[in-house]
Structure 1
Amino acid sequence: MTSFPPALMLKGNYALSAKGRLFRTLLTSFQYIISFALLVCSTFIWQQNQYMKIQDTGFARDEIVIAGLPHKGQELSQFTTFKHELEKFPEFKGTAYVSTKLGASDVYSMTGSKYEGEEFYHYEIRVSPDFGEVMGFKLLEGRFFLASDTISSNKYTYCLGTKRIKDEQHIPTDTPFRGNHSKSNYIVGYIDDVIFTSSRVNAFAYSPFLFTVESQLTKLPYAYIRIKAGSDVPTALRHIHETAEKIFPGYPVEVNFFNTYYQQLYEKETNQQYMVTLFSLLAIIISLVGVFGLTIFETAYRRKEIGIRKVYGAKTSDILWNFNRTYLRIITICSIIASPFAWFFMDKWLQNFIIRINLSPWVFLIAFAIIIILTLTIVTIQNYRAATSNPTENLKIE
């Protein structure tokens, strides 16, 4: 402020001077750059979140309900009775038991196996014999488990492998290989790849699954219950709670849909989406406030020019376009500057995921259009009065 001419400062027209207008324009341009980048980033984060949540998990997950059952001190007959009681209701298609809560974590019990001298790692999940049918897995080769697979054997642990194990390890069905225990693993069939983890890149993400049959249901505390399509969901949930209370009296049973747990895997990304979206809205609002203030000073600075143009026959639309094209040029330049930064940061962020969207240029064009429409609307409304006023009044202003 001390570097400006004294006469200009005393006259009080710094805001309307060329330097004052340039300074305001630079501040508004900086706000535009931030607003554009945040708007683009929030859109890509939203797209990635939606893409991850609706990705194909390899089975019909919408009708799967998970019931956490008490297992310590319980009898095998209670688990069998719980399954049979549920199957009496028309709303249910089947019930299977699992050793862990699949779909609720990125990390499961990982173990190593060896085939033809080559060691490989995989998740090992213990399940009841009817797990494959209840979950609706796509069988690629061989068969699902049979009840006879649970018969105690000193030789094999029967397994159901995923396509990734088949493609990478090339283990034929009905061929034993060494597992992490005294018994050899014996794959009875292969299913299509299934997803029970998030898409994040980490040391455990997307490791192949190997499901092993377990005869002792008391070691499988999670019941995976499939509800028939078109059934009354509240009635089905009520039946589950009532049956659990009857079979396991005094023990609270937690019942939730598989999708509820699966959506929670992306809670971090959802919070990021909300945060970036909020900052985008705030930045856009601040930018529009800056445009509003800049427009006021610009109008005051150019009122004589408006009057002269009106005298020489300029139309209201011509005057409005004369103002709008200035901001159109500013927004275009700011968007071009902000685009490489937004592209770079989103590309780095998307590298955190194995399954990810492509960066589409349409998002940048839509963000540009949104900011253009909002800005030009404010500029047009603000300048309309000056563009339609009597030119003699504008020419009288000193």
Structure 2
Amino acid sequence: MQSTFRNLLYVLTRYKLATATNLLGLSFAFVLFILIWIHVSYEYNFDVSIPDRERIFQLENMRNDGIWEANFSRPQLERFIAASPGIEAAAITNNLVYSSVRLGVSTSKEVDGKSYMEQVERITIGYTKVFGFEMVAGSTDCLNHPDGVLISESMARKFFGEGNPVGKPVYFSEFESAEGTDIYGLHFEPAYIVGGVYRDFPGNTRLKNALYIPIMEKEMMHDWNTGSYYCYLLMSSPEAVPATIDQYMTNNKEFLKNFAIEDIRLRPLAELYFGQQVRADAAPVGNKLRTNMLFFVAVLIIGIAMVNYINLSIALAPIRTKSITIQKVLGSSDATLRRYLVLESLIITVLAFFIALFFVFLLSDVQWIADMLGHRLDLFSNWRILAMTSLIVIGCGMCAGIYPAFYITSFPPVMALNKTFALSDRAKNTRKLLIGFQFVISITLVVGSLFVFLQNKYIGNVDLGFNKDHIMEVRLSMGAALNKSELFKARLLESPDIRDVAFSEFKFVSDESRSFIGYSYEGQHSYMSWFGVSSRFPELMDIKMIAGRYFRPSDEAPGNSQPVCILSETAAKDIASRFTSGRINDLSDIVGTNISDNNIPVQIVGIFEDVHYESLYRQLRPLGLWVSAKNHYRHTVPERYSYVKIAGGDPRAAIEHIHKVTEELMPGYPVDIHFFDSVLDKLYHKSQKQGALVTILCLLAVFLSLVGVFGLVIFELQDREKEIAVRKIFGSTVRQILWMLNSSFLRATLVCFVISIPVAYYGVNIWLQSFAYKTPVYLWVFIVALLIIALLTSLTVTFQSYRAATANPASKLGH
């Protein structure tokens, strides 16, 4: 054993460049493999931590437009629950209407007390039973009281330190100066008493570490039309689901038709994350195919690294064969030498793995790695992945050593000692195939990374239908939105750096589920996104009108009882499509007519060009904007998002003024100000980070492929050094010799390019499918990828060959 390690140490110091290259390539490959496997495990284990998840189902309905959605009115849900004996528990959530919301929360009633922006969810007590909340203090029974609240363990430490939080109050600074006001049609308590602390949920689950406040038993039971509630059901068994649905549909068909519900289904919780997100569902979803592709590429990177090891080992064969032959002459058998060479490969591979572990450990606390993956890099909880990777490393190390071990020991001693070592045509072709494999993957990944860049650029340049430049998004507390919005606007406009201010109920651009109404137009029923804005909003956002007019200040005057709206082009076309040809000849014919929302006529005063109010992952959906004002139609939600248009140039003075005004009008409330560009960027965060991973994999694949070329060139130069010398004697120039050596590699690159085209095309199309609006698949991108790989290959070959091309031919022919 001692001699084995002495020989290994000799190899490491004797062949420094090859050893360092192998260790570097293998280490980088293992680092990325571990990172991606942890990320893939995170995705595939989404919601796995929820007890009994195989018995939990989300209740969904299909409206008469053929689209599935997840929202119901409260009495509709209670009717279904009461009629279904197979249900053990029901979890109803309101999510503060259409999406979970972050609100200002404080542990002090004083205005100068510290306020936090926290996620708030409204749930029935059954929610805690369905999802199995693990309590560390108090009880979930507090949700039986209007002022009860559950908080997470980490939130308890943040709010109250190490003290017992149970029985202590928390205040919504969000509702400061709005006490006693119904918001979202709901009543909020001025103070909530902590009744329980639950253990934090992991990041890869739909359950949030939020403040949970109660939905009371009688809440909204009189309203059959407002679909703002969502429901998960814990069934007695998965087998009970079909009978439950069939029985309810059979007994309630006419009842459901009255609400335009055509069908109902229960979808397993285990299928939701990688399934199709339904309308009005804001829960996170993943992309299974894209996740699988990422893992597949990581496996290929390991394969490339192993191929590199084999190539470099064989490239050193002419040098090492003499040493191996001497050991044979001294009595070592082929089997002994082969075991040693396999052990050498195993030790180098394991050493590279430990180097990779060291780098992964260093990266575990790096924030940009967590941002890229979309979650924290927790090595302790992923110890199984590290253990399984170590087994893969051992297997790869042994496999990578077997072929070189048999190859290096296969030559007769006389050939090695006389330096007549030569590579067979079969062996040469094998090595070229291995290099070709690397090049196909590299070209494919270069194409992929170029399209990632083009798609991100395309998203940034798509005409969104509005002007996002010089716009700030400022969130107001609900209390300020209700009582101080006009003062807020007036104070902001005191600054010459601020041009205009407008308000909206919800974020203007977001993939969070938003208000969706079913409306009627001359007896025809349809659906559209629907939210209130102030009268200046369309003009501030530079939304272009096709027909009719913008809103007027008089539209939001307190004395105006006629609600008005403007519709997107898609919404107007949807209306027109429901009538026979000639009924609506032009979209302008719709202007001046009414849509009916719950029997309330809303006048259409204009049609505007489509705007992308959701990310480009989604197709455009019909949109209606209506004027929201106090005591007006549907005024149940304050306009808590303000949009501030600032003058061009240096924005610091405007931002400073906005900060000053918000702090004066909302003391203690966390200031939330963003450039609209940054708000839009958040929509594509996950895709951009996965694109960054693909780019890193691409760079590593190219590097490893070039290392493979490097090894192959070393071997070819040893095999052809006499040929090069003869050519020089007969007048060949350095340029001609370099071209001769480059030409075979460039031909191989071209062949690999042809093979990689369908592979790259398929992969790019799969990735682009997740976007509703995507860059075209340009041919020139493939050509650029070929040129990049060809150029890098040529530089590598030239760099390694230049010494041989300029050497004195006499020194080579003299041997």
| Global fold match (TM > 0.5) | yes
C-alpha distance 18-8 of structure 1, shift in aligned 2 (>3 A): farther
Q: What residue number does 1:209 align with?
A: 623
Gaps of 5+ in 2: 1-402, 577-588
Q: Distance in 2 between matches of 1:396 and 1:75?
A: 92
**8 Å Cα contact 1:142/1:190 also seen in 2:** yes
More displaced stretch, 248-257 vs 326-335: 248-257
SS at match of 1:105: coil
1:273 aligns with 2:687: no
Q: Which of 494, 501, 526 is matched with 1:120 structurally?
A: 526
Q: CA separation in 2, counterparts of 1:154 and 1:89?
A: 31
- Counterpart of 1:184? 601
Distance in 2 separating the partners of 1:235 and 1:348: 46
AA aligned to 1:240 is I
Instruction: Name the structure 1 match of 2:346.
Output: none
Q: Which amino acid aligns with 1:137?
A: I
Letter in 2 for 1:43: L
Work out whether residues 126 and 213 of structure 1, in 8 Å CA contact, stay in contact via their aligned partners in 2.
Answer: yes
The separation in 2 between residues aligned to 1:286 and 1:4, in whole angstroms, is 22
1:56 aligns with 2:463: yes
Q: Displacement of 1:106 after TM fit?
A: 5.1
Displacement of 1:47 after TM fit? Answer: 0.3
CA–CA separation in structure 1 for the residues paired with 2:776 and 2:412: 53
Q: Give the share of equivalent positions with the same residue, in percent.
A: 35
Query: d(CA) in 1 for partners of 2:567 and 2:787?
Result: 50
Distance 1:9 1:41, change over 3 A: farther
Whether the 8 Å CA contact 1:16–1:298 is kept in 2: the answer is no
State the one-letter code of the partner of 2:547.
E
1:293 matched residue in structure 2:
711
CA contact (8 A) 1:156 1:176 kept: no
Quick one: which of 36, 42, 61 aligns to 2:449?
Answer: 42
Larger mean Cα displacement after TM superposition, 232-241 or 376-385? 376-385
The Cα shift of 1:77 comes to 4.4
Say which of 356, 369, 387 aligns to 2:774: 356
Distance 2:797 2:556 in 1: 75
Aligned 1:62-211 pairs, distance under 5 A: 62-72=469-479, 74=480, 76-105=482-511, 107-151=513-557, 156-170=562-576, 172-179=590-597, 181-201=598-618, 205-211=619-625
Of the candidates 425, 438, 442, which is equivalent to residue 18 of structure 1?
425
C-alpha distance in structure 2 between counterparts of 1:335 and 1:220, whole Å: 56
The aligned residue for residue 378 of structure 2 is none
**1:22-46, CA deviations, whole angstroms, 9 ceiling, x for partnerless residues?**
2222211111010000000110111
Which structure is richer in relative contact order (CA contacts within 8 A, separation 6 or more)? 1
Note the alpha carbon deviations across 1:180-203, whole angstroms, 9 max, x for none.
x341221111121111211114xx
- Residue number in structure 1 paired with 2:646: 227
Letter in 1 for 2:573: D
Distance 2:491 2:412 in 1: 88
Q: 1:237/1:154 Cα in 2 relative to 1: closer, same or farther (>3 Å)?
A: closer
Q: 2:764 maps to which residue?
A: 346
- State how many pairs are aligned: 391
2:462 alignment partner, SS class:
coil
How far did 1:208 drift? 1.9
Moved more, 234-243 or 24-33: 24-33
Question: Matches of 2:472 and 2:603 in 1, distance apart?
Answer: 29
CA distance in 2, matches of 1:77, 1:58: 31
Residue-by-residue CA offset, 1:287-334 (whole Å, 9 max, x unaligned): 111111100100000111112222222222222111111001110000
Decide which moves more: 292-301 or 47-56.
47-56
Q: What TM-score results when the alignment is normalised by the length of structure 1?
A: 0.91
Native 8 Å contact 1:121 1:207 kept in 2:
no
Moved more, 312-321 or 55-64: 312-321
Comparing 96-105 with 19-28, which one deviates more in the overlay? Answer: 19-28
**Per-residue deviation, residues 257-305 of structure 1 (Å, max 9, x unmatched):** 1111101111122112111110110001001111111001000001111
Once residues 294 and 262 of structure 1 are traced to their aligned partners in structure 2, the CA distance between those partners, rounded to angstroms, is 48
2:439 maps to 32
Q: Kindly tell me: are residues 76 and 99 of structure 1, through their superposed partners in 2, closer, same or farther at Cα, counting changes over 3 Å? A: closer
Deviations 1:145-197 (A, max 9, x none): 22322356897431111122223323611111222x34122111112111121
**SS in structure 2 at match of 1:111:** strand
- Is contact 1:87-1:94 (8 Å) kept? yes
CA deviation digits over 1:348-390, x for unaligned, max 9? 3222222111111111111111111111111112112212222
C-alpha distance in structure 2 between counterparts of 1:340 and 1:278, whole Å? 22
TM-score, scaled relative to structure 2: 0.46
Please identify, of 368-377 and 146-155, the stretch whose mean Cα deviation from structure 2 is larger: 146-155
Q: 1:376 matched to which residue of 2?
A: 794
Return 5+ residue gaps in structure 1 as ranges: none
* 1:229 partner letter: G
RMSD: 2.3
Assess if the C-alpha contact under 8 Å between 2:571 and 2:621 holds in 1: no
1:317 match: 735
- The AA in structure 1 aligned to 2:639 is L
Inter-partner Cα distance in structure 2 for 1:267 and 1:88: 36
Greater shift, 361-370 or 108-117, is seen at 108-117
